[in-house]
Chains A and B, each alone.
Chain A
Amino acid sequence: MDISINGSTASLEKECTLEALLLSRKLNPAVLLVERNGEIVPAGTFAEVLLCEGDSLEILHFVGGG
């Protein structure tokens, strides 16, 4: 199953939730801001989101800035 993550294509071996994807990439879901197909995924609901073929994810976090 192919999805897009921050503009790059990623192949997932099997269906998984957003939270499982983030954890598999060693990302801490608690500090992430995620858009799925242009819609914000509210914090705390990542485990309820089942990813689908063709999904487009934007995964951001807070970084240093002025």
Chain B
Amino acid sequence: MDDVFELGGIALTSRLFIGTGKYSADALIPDVCAASGAQVITVAMRRVEKGSEGIVGHIPEHMRLLPNTSGARTAQEAVRLARLARAAGCGNWIKIEVISDSRYLLPDGYETAKAVELLVKEDFVALPYINPDLYVARDCAQAGAAAIMPLGAPIGTNRGLRTKEMIGILIEEMTLPVIVDAGIGRPSQACEAMEMGAAACLVNTAIASADTPVHMAEAFRDAVRAGRMAFLAGLGAERSGGARASSPLTGFLHALGGEHADL
């Protein structure tokens, strides 16, 4: 089945994006990349520390880097980080993350939309991490975002699609791709997001914190693919008020109610 996801001028065949945070050993990352089939991988930027090697050496070359602006509390700080990332030569994609709430790490919609506007003017492919709020999503779209990335649950919680209703509204109302980011804890939840019509899922913690990240990456690969195929196939309607038999209700071995079929 040919199913290409066009994002920022690139044709992606995988709709699973993965992260690089929280692995017990960064050396697992190449195998996770292979098992997940992902083509896009997020990284963060931080001040260098003595003895720290950084993450880039662990990322296979075929992966497209998606730097995030985590640590930014304002649109201006996000712009500064985005420029640094681009100057490092890793392309013009940027996951815009503007957060000043340290307990729940919820994104600041106003500053995020402002950052989108500033960065699109500088020719970035802007991918904003947002609360699943229709007005914020529209502001981001208006500002030229390439997709929107609403959260399913707070970052790193593995709590699943707690915001399912709101994400459903974004999928229905927005023409931009909706990439569910944050909170997805199980492959079944990624599958559900894809069945709903999400364009892609970004999964980090659920893979990195699994007992066997490489196997979990494979599980997410299959779940995202299954959910996507189900969406494209078109889910059958739900019914209530009694069963609807799938098998014929005539021609039973022991005829019911005096029914006899003539040969």
Contacts and interface: CB of A to CB of B under 8 A. Distances in A.
A65 B68 contact: yes
Interface residues of B, number: 37
Contacts of A27: 48
Given A6-B48, A27-B48, A63 B87 contact: no
A53 B216 CA distance: 51
Contacts of B88: 31-33, 43, 62
Interface string A14-33: 00000000000101100111
B155 A63 contact: no
Contact of A65 (B42, B56, B87): B42
A40 B84 CA distance: 7
Please indicate which of the listed interface residues B65, B67, B87 has the most CB atoms of chain A within 10 Å of its own CB: B87
A12 interface: no
Contacts of B70: 65-66
Given A59-B48, A65-B43, A33 B85 contact: yes
A61 B48 contact: yes
Interface of A is mostly: strand
B112 interface: no
B156 interface: yes
B92 interface: no
B30 interface: no
Contact of B87 (A25, A43, A58): A43
B159 to A, nearest CB: 15
Interface in A36-66: 40-43, 58-66
23 contacts: A6-B47, A33-B45, A35-B84, A40-B87, A42-B87, A58-B47, A59-B47, A62-B54, A62-B65, A63-B20, A63-B54, A64-B19, A64-B26, A64-B44, A65-B19, A65-B44, A65-B204, A66-B19, A66-B21, A66-B44, A66-B156, A66-B204, A66-B205
